[in-house]
Amino acid sequence: MPSAETSAPARPLLAIRGLRKSFGATEILKGVDLDVRQGEVVSIIGSSGSGKTTLLRCVNLLEEFQGGEVLLDGEPVGYREQAGRRLRLKDRDLARQRAQTGMVFQSFNLFPHLSAAGNVMLGLRKVKGMGKAEARAVAERWLARVGLAERADHAPSQLSGGQQQRVAIARALAMEPKLVLLDEITSALDPELVGEVLATVKALAGEGATLLLVTHEMRFARDVSNTVVFMEKGLVAERGPPGDLFGNPRHPRLIEFLRGTRDH
């Protein structure tokens, strides 16, 4: 384990080192290295099947991985080393680590039996142990920040897709995670609802949230990111500031990929 030194200021908030992940015999992630610094916004782009979703799910411990490590704020997540053997953490420890990252899904995944406020409050109450009144106040504050103050008591089924996704963003951010993972959060939305969700994410980025996101919206990636990462066949093929990556792509597959996305 390389990085247990005292927190040097340069240490990235998230450090992914040589991450390997297979489904059965098929290796999907083949040694991914990726850093995300505190307050940074990193966008992952890449063709379908390149492993973007799998990478985010490994970071949030929704998938097990077979090699390499993921360090969040210096702490290895998901596994511990014992007598040279790599052991998956217990459920309780996984839950504690997951609480430090937020995740927003493509398909919203709001809890259908709870109101918008109830969705935001569940983690505050049951994970953070907040009282009802305090959790409600925090939830209302976050719903207001995503522009849904008036919708606190609506059921998810009474909200538009864009509104549901903004509730999901509030639900993730209310937990005050160190890092937020967003996986193609506008892909399931009607085109006219995409803008409101992207504007919300952009505002959060402006307020200093640390974001690792996967997107097919190249304009958005260019606008919002400090760093863009191009994934190809389970590896990071190219990374850099959006100006370089979009303005002067070097990897032949990236050039081809960008040509493909400009068409629509």
Partner 1 sequence: MGYTLNFAVVWANLPKLLGGLLLGLELAAASLALGTLIGLAGGFLSVGASRPGRALAATYVAVVRNTPILVIVLMLYFALPDLGVQLAKGPSFIAALSLYSGAYLTEVFRAGLVAVPPGLVEAGKAIGLTRFGVALHVVGPVMLRNVLPALGSTFISLFKDTSIAAAIAVPELTFQARRINVESFRVVEAWTAASALYIATCFLIAAALRGLERRFPKF
Ligand X SMILES: Nc1ncnc2c1ncn2[C@@H]1O[C@H](COP(=O)(O)OP(=O)(O)OP(=O)(O)O)[C@@H](O)[C@H]1O
Interface ranges with ligand X (CB under 6 A): 23, 28, 46, 48-54
The nearest distance, CB 92 to partner 1, in angstroms, is: 6
CB burial of residue 112 (10 Å; 0-12, 13-18, 19+):
exposed
Is residue 189 close enough to count as binding partner 1 by CB under 8 A?
Answer: no
DSSP 180-216: EEEESTTTTS-HHHHHHHHHHHHHHHHTT--EEEE-S
The nearest distance, CB 218 to ligand X, in angstroms, is: 13
The smaller minimum CB distance to ligand X, of residues 23 and 112, is found at 23
Question: Which of ligand X, partner 1, Mg ion, none is residue 23 near (CB under 5 to 8 Å by kind)?
Answer: ligand X
Spatial distance between the Cα atoms of 109 and 226, rounded to a whole number of angstroms = 28
| Contact string 144-163 vs partner 1 (x = CB under 8 A) | -----------xxx------
Q: How many CB atoms neighbour CB 48 within 10 A?
A: 7
The smaller minimum CB distance to partner 1, of residues 189 and 218, is found at 189
Is residue 225 close enough to count as binding Mg ion by CB under 5 A?
Answer: no
| Contact string 51-80 vs Mg ion (x = CB under 5 A) | --x---------------------------
The distance between the two most distant Cα atoms of the chain, rounded to a whole number of Å, is: 55
DSSP 5-39: SS--TTS-SEEEEEEEEEETTEEEEEEEEEEE-TT
Is residue 122 close enough to count as binding partner 1 by CB under 8 A?
Answer: yes
Question: Which of ligand X, Mg ion, partner 1, none is residue 123 near (CB under 5 to 8 Å by kind)?
Answer: partner 1
The nearest distance, CB 177 to ligand X, in angstroms, is: 21
The nearest distance, CB 14 to ligand X, in angstroms, is: 18
Percent helix, strand, coil in the chain, to 5, is 40, 25, 35
The smaller minimum CB distance to ligand X, of residues 48 and 82, is found at 48
Spatial distance between the Cα atoms of 4 and 141, rounded to a whole number of angstroms = 36
The nearest distance, CB 26 to ligand X, in angstroms, is: 7
Residues 2, 24, 84, 112: which binds partner 1 (CB under 8 A)? Answer: 112
The answer to whether residues 165 and 197 touch, using CB atoms and an 8 Å cutoff, is yes
Spatial distance between the Cα atoms of 185 and 174, rounded to a whole number of angstroms = 18
Binding-site ranges for Mg ion (CB under 5 A):
53
